Chain A
Amino acid sequence: MSAITLSNVTKRYGAVQVVHGVDLEIDKGEFVVLLGPSGCGKTTTLRMVAGLEDVTGGKLSIGGQVVNDVAPKDRGVAMVFQNYALYPHMTVRQNMEFALRPLKLGADEVERRINETAEILGLSELLARKPAQLSGGQRQRVAMGRAMVRTPDVFLFDEPLSNLDAKLRTQVRWEIGKLHQRLGTTVLYVTHDQVEAMTLADKIVIMRDGYVEQVGTPEEVYSNPKTSFVATFIGSPSMNMIDARITDGRIEADGFSHPVPTRFAGRVTEGQDVTIGIRPISIELAHADDERALPATVEVTEFLGNEALLDLRVGTHELVAEIPAEQRVPSGTKTHIRLNFDLAHFFDAGTGRSLNAE
């Protein structure tokens, strides 16, 4: 049985519809990330699951029970907020105690749960402190602790790492992943950061303008993006997108022409406008005498250590290539590149749908 099920869930504020018919199955113990740019409806979806927003249409179930009209407190969920939402006047211990009050547990049990959670999160030394005396990372751990002590069926995370600096973000991200392995609780996690999504998720739900674009494992959404939006949103640096048209069995783009790869043979039609998606890693430097080589100008070279990024101008196209650092050439160099069409993605230019095989 699924832990959480959304069937055709919609959300509307007056005349504005912000979530359009979301369908989603979350299995027990699964770590699911809602990913998308701001305004895509991911936080609204999470808040509907929490019960902080009403569901306008569709059906929302938690643990097999329809909860559209169930109060937040009766949904068996606990939430960790972006800005921690700690009670500023209470100590760390009191913050956790207050979350336990509605459960009406015995003093011993309260004590045991707080100490155990504090132990797991490394908060034992900080129990007597107030939020103002803690660092951002510590506050985030207290917020998680406050959710954990209640041993909920589902954890909801609303961009929990956005207020942390880059280094701390990596560390807390790792801690959240480890915690999920240890507790095995179902997690629904909202973020706009694809790295968080890729590293933490069992399943990623990519949203855009209130619609679900794709649901899949990190591997699937990276290797097999179903739309050009998913293709450009996942992966860093972003996938290069080139407008082209199918003419006489060839891909004709501004500045180059290439036979349609055999695996797309039946999938494209004559005269169709397509978008070619090529990851930076699928562009390599080539010799001028290579028949498929395209002349390119290196506008900027960015050295990243192991690899280097080249900002290239190829005809009218601006492309980014990721190459081994030792092959890099200085900015301003005129060189040749080759696009690896075996690893390319094709999208219909009109619908943005992938033309790749499933």
Chain B
Amino acid sequence: MAYIRKRNKKIFGIFLVPAMLVLFLTTIYPMLYAGYLSFRSYDLAKPFVPRVFVGWSNYREILTSSEFLHTLIVTAKLMAMTLSVQLVLGVGIALLVTQKLPGMGVARTLLLVPMMISPVIVGLVWLFLYFPELGYLNYFLSFLGVGAIPWITSTNWALWAIAIADIWQWTPFVMMGTAAAVQSLSPEPYEAAMIDGNSRWDVFTRVTLPQLKPVLVSLMFLRAIDAFKIYDIIFVLTKGGPGDTTEVLSLFIYRQSFTFWRMGVGAAASFVSLVIIVVLITLFFKSLNRDDYA
């Protein structure tokens, strides 16, 4: 018996090897190598120059550069814009599609479509919509008497243009999670409130929202982690411009590494980004463990 179990363990191990190998080659090794690079001076344009150890100087450079801080601020702004709208819209639509009305099942499925599209495609779709003279958005806005808005070419609008595309893509995610939570709420407390005569607003703010809170917090953390890494949509729509209006952290890392060939600095910025994401994930798991009903 013990022999078989030991043998089985070996077989399990063998089956795990391919997956572990892929994981190691695509995730663990690059991460360790990036860690190694973040302490070196490495110019990709001069690959044969030795990679000199420079200590913390790459980190010191980015953490003191106004450019890096600017990308952090842009990222935070974008997160605040997208998350807040996604929360309000997502909850609102979820409450709507969980009503027992005809067509809600179909509506729910259709609303999930944006989420299933690759972000690059979403970027391209919105690029067409935003096109200053030929874009559909300005065409339709002209009927409302709104003049042409330079969506992606104006420093006033570019960040909103990106936010709108992201909101369009990811509101369904918040909606889906919220709708599932709404449907798991038991109906009797609502009937009790109906008999007692509590107003709809009271019921929403004091019965529904508090019960949804744990789910909403989780959804917001998941969105925050994702939004922090936003790259594709911006790369397609504005490439960080105009100027550096929409230059988020991921674009900064990309630019340092593959435009300026400064792999050491890019690697250091990646590590700073990793630390921030780890903090977010830790907070997320902490929020999961908290028992809200105890």
Task: List residues of chain A with CB under 8 Å of any chain B CB.
Answer: 50-52, 71-75, 77-79, 81, 83-90, 98-99, 101-102, 130-133, 146, 150
Can you list 13 A-B pairs with a CB-CB distance of less than 8 A?
A72-B194, A73-B194, A73-B197, A77-B195, A85-B188, A85-B189, A87-B206, A89-B210, A99-B192, A99-B196, A99-B198, A130-B294, A132-B293
Q: Which of A78, A90, A130, A132 contacts B195 (CB 8 A)?
A: A78
Task: Determine if B195 and A73 form an interchain contact, defined as CB atoms under 8 angstroms apart.
Answer: yes
**A73-B197, A74-B197, A99-B196 given as contacts; is B188 within 8 A of A81 (CB)?**
yes
Task: Determine if B191 and A102 form an interchain contact, defined as CB atoms under 8 angstroms apart.
Answer: no
CB-CB under 8 A from B198, the residues of chain A are 98-99, 101-102
Task: Determine if A88 and B211 form an interchain contact, defined as CB atoms under 8 angstroms apart.
Answer: yes
Task: Determine if B195 and A87 form an interchain contact, defined as CB atoms under 8 angstroms apart.
Answer: no
Near A by CB (< 8 A), chain B positions 188-212 give 188-189, 191-199, 202, 206-207, 210-211
CB-CB under 8 A from A150, the residues of chain B are 196
| Total inter-chain residue pairs, C-beta < 8 Å | 72
**A74-B197, A88-B211 given as contacts; is B293 within 8 A of A79 (CB)?**
no
Q: Which of B188, B199, B293 contacts A89 (CB 8 A)?
A: B293
When C-beta atoms are compared, the residue in chain B nearest to A75 turns out to be B195
Task: Determine if A52 and B195 form an interchain contact, defined as CB atoms under 8 angstroms apart.
Answer: yes
Task: Determine if A87 and B197 form an interchain contact, defined as CB atoms under 8 angstroms apart.
Answer: no
> How many residues on the B side are at the interface (Cβ–Cβ under 8 A)?
20
Task: Determine if A85 and B210 form an interchain contact, defined as CB atoms under 8 angstroms apart.
Answer: no
**Interchain CA distance A101-B202 in the complex, whole Å:** 9
CB-CB under 8 A from B196, the residues of chain A are 73, 78, 98-99, 101-102, 146, 150
CB-CB under 8 A from A86, the residues of chain B are 189
**Interchain CA distance A87-B211 in the complex, whole Å:** 9
**A73-B195, A132-B293, A133-B294 given as contacts; is B188 within 8 A of A87 (CB)?**
no
**Interchain CA distance A24-B187 in the complex, whole Å:** 29
**Interchain CA distance A83-B194 in the complex, whole Å:** 16
CB-CB under 8 A from A79, the residues of chain B are 191-192, 195
Task: Determine if B211 and A89 form an interchain contact, defined as CB atoms under 8 angstroms apart.
Answer: yes
**Interchain CA distance A269-B228 in the complex, whole Å:** 90
**Interchain CA distance A132-B206 in the complex, whole Å:** 18
Q: How far is the CB of A15 from chain B (nearest CB, A)?
A: 19
Q: 3 tightest CB-CB pairs across the interface, nearest first?
A: A73-B197, A85-B188, A102-B197
CB-CB under 8 A from A74, the residues of chain B are 197
When C-beta atoms are compared, the residue in chain B nearest to A99 turns out to be B196
B186 at the interface (CB under 8 A from A): yes
Q: How far is the CB of B214 from chain A (nearest CB, A)?
A: 10
CB-CB under 8 A from B199, the residues of chain A are 102
**Interchain CA distance A269-B30 in the complex, whole Å:** 99
Task: Determine if A72 and B293 form an interchain contact, defined as CB atoms under 8 angstroms apart.
Answer: no
CB-CB under 8 A from A133, the residues of chain B are 294
CB-CB under 8 A from B293, the residues of chain A are 88-89, 130-132
Task: List residues of chain B with CB under 8 Å of any chain A CB.
Answer: 186, 188-189, 191-199, 202, 206-207, 210-211, 292-294
CB-CB under 8 A from B192, the residues of chain A are 79, 81, 85, 99, 146
Tell me which of B192, B197, B199 has the highest count of chain A C-beta atoms within 10 A of its own C-beta. Answer: B192
**Interchain CA distance A77-B195 in the complex, whole Å:** 7
Q: Which of A52, A130, A132 contacts B194 (CB 8 A)?
A: A52
CB-CB under 8 A from B294, the residues of chain A are 130, 132-133
Task: Determine if A83 and B193 form an interchain contact, defined as CB atoms under 8 angstroms apart.
Answer: no
Task: Determine if A87 and B207 form an interchain contact, defined as CB atoms under 8 angstroms apart.
Answer: yes
CB-CB under 8 A from A73, the residues of chain B are 194-197
CB-CB under 8 A from B189, the residues of chain A are 85-88
Q: How far is the CB of A254 from chain B (nearest CB, A)?
A: 50
CB-CB under 8 A from A77, the residues of chain B are 195
When C-beta atoms are compared, the residue in chain B nearest to A85 turns out to be B188
When C-beta atoms are compared, the residue in chain A nearest to B207 turns out to be A87
**Interchain CA distance A72-B199 in the complex, whole Å:** 12
Task: Determine if A50 and B211 form an interchain contact, defined as CB atoms under 8 angstroms apart.
Answer: no
When C-beta atoms are compared, the residue in chain B nearest to A74 turns out to be B197
Tell me which of A51, A74, A101, A130 has the highest count of chain B C-beta atoms within 10 A of its own C-beta. Answer: A101
Given pairs A89-B211, A99-B192, A133-B294, 5 additional interface contacts (CB within 8 A) = A52-B195, A83-B186, A85-B186, A131-B293, A132-B294
Tell me which of B194, B196, B197, B294 has the highest count of chain A C-beta atoms within 10 A of its own C-beta. Answer: B196
When C-beta atoms are compared, the residue in chain A nearest to B194 turns out to be A72
**Interchain CA distance A51-B197 in the complex, whole Å:** 12
When C-beta atoms are compared, the residue in chain B nearest to A149 turns out to be B196
**Interchain CA distance A81-B190 in the complex, whole Å:** 11
Task: Determine if B191 and A85 form an interchain contact, defined as CB atoms under 8 angstroms apart.
Answer: yes
**Interchain CA distance A78-B207 in the complex, whole Å:** 18
When C-beta atoms are compared, the residue in chain B nearest to A77 turns out to be B195
**A83-B186, A132-B293 given as contacts; is B206 within 8 A of A98 (CB)?**
yes
**Interchain CA distance A101-B201 in the complex, whole Å:** 12
**Interchain CA distance A72-B194 in the complex, whole Å:** 7
**Interchain CA distance A51-B198 in the complex, whole Å:** 15
Q: How far is the CB of A67 from chain B (nearest CB, A)?
A: 13
**Interchain CA distance A99-B192 in the complex, whole Å:** 8
Q: How far is the CB of A54 from chain B (nearest CB, A)?
A: 13
**Interchain CA distance A132-B291 in the complex, whole Å:** 11
Q: How far is the CB of A46 from chain B (nearest CB, A)?
A: 12
**Interchain CA distance A130-B292 in the complex, whole Å:** 10
CB-CB under 8 A from B202, the residues of chain A are 98, 101
**A83-B186, A132-B293 given as contacts; is B193 within 8 A of A98 (CB)?**
yes
Q: How far is the CB of B131 from chain A (nearest CB, A)?
A: 48
**Interchain CA distance A90-B210 in the complex, whole Å:** 9
Q: How far is the CB of A318 from chain B (nearest CB, A)?
A: 42
When C-beta atoms are compared, the residue in chain A nearest to B199 turns out to be A102
Task: Determine if A89 and B292 form an interchain contact, defined as CB atoms under 8 angstroms apart.
Answer: yes
Task: Determine if A72 and B188 form an interchain contact, defined as CB atoms under 8 angstroms apart.
Answer: no
When C-beta atoms are compared, the residue in chain A nearest to B195 turns out to be A72
